[in-house]
């Protein structure tokens, strides 16, 4: 007998073609700056649990910088970041990446998907149709 049952949300599986048709969009809460080497440094807000936010308030951590995380991209990541305009699809970005760096198209798709998945996991980008 089960005493509890977890409610899990299942999302419909997308085909590869459907997934590549999405357009990555940068979150409004993200700030970027350039390093001296010309690389992109991304500042993005931390998702804080309510009890932790209460603790931060009690400790007077109201400084906005303390609630931001930093991610510094390498040369390839910075190039791809510059291409994120909300109009290019994942497939279009992968094609650009393959042409720019001389990669096979499938290799570029896998790399682009992994990069965008990591940015999405951190809340830096979202995907639009």
Residue 107: predicted pLDDT:
96
To the question of pTM greater than 0.95 for the whole model, the response is no
Contact present, 80 and 97 (Cβ < 8 Å): yes
Express each pLDDT in 46-88 by its tens digit.
866 666 667 666 666 555 455 788 999 999 999 999 999 999 9
25, 125 contact by CB (below 8 A): yes
Judge whether 124 and 41 are in contact, CB under 8 Å.
no
Distance between CA 73 and CA 125 in Å, rounded? 14
Q: Which pair of structure tokens corresponds to residue 8? A: 């899990």
Pick one of 3.20.20.70, 3.30.2320.50, 3.90.650.10, 1.10.10.1150 as the CATH number of 16-128.
1.10.10.1150
Report pLDDT for 12. 73
* pLDDT greater than 70 at residue 27: yes
**pLDDT band per the 50, 70, 90 thresholds, residue 20:** confident
Q: Which residue has the tokens 């500042």?
A: 43
- Tell me the two tokens of residue 35: 């390093």
């Amino acid at each position: 007998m089960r005493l509890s049952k977890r409610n899990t949300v299942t999302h419909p599986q997308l085909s590869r073609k459907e997934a590549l048709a999405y357009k990555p969009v940068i979150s409004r809460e993200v700030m970027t700056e350039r390093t001296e080497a010309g690389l992109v440094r991304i500042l993005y807000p931390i998702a804080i649990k309510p009890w932790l936010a209460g603790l931060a308030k009690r400790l007077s951590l109201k400084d906005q910088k303390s609630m931001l995380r930093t991610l510094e991209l390498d040369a390839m990541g910075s190039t791809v970041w510059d291409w994120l305009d909300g109009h290019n699809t994942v497939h279009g970005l992968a094609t650009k990446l393959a042409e720019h760096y001389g990669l096979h198209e499938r290799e570029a798709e896998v790399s682009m998907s992994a990069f965008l998945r990591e940015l999405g996991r951190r809340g830096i980008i979202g995907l639009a149709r």
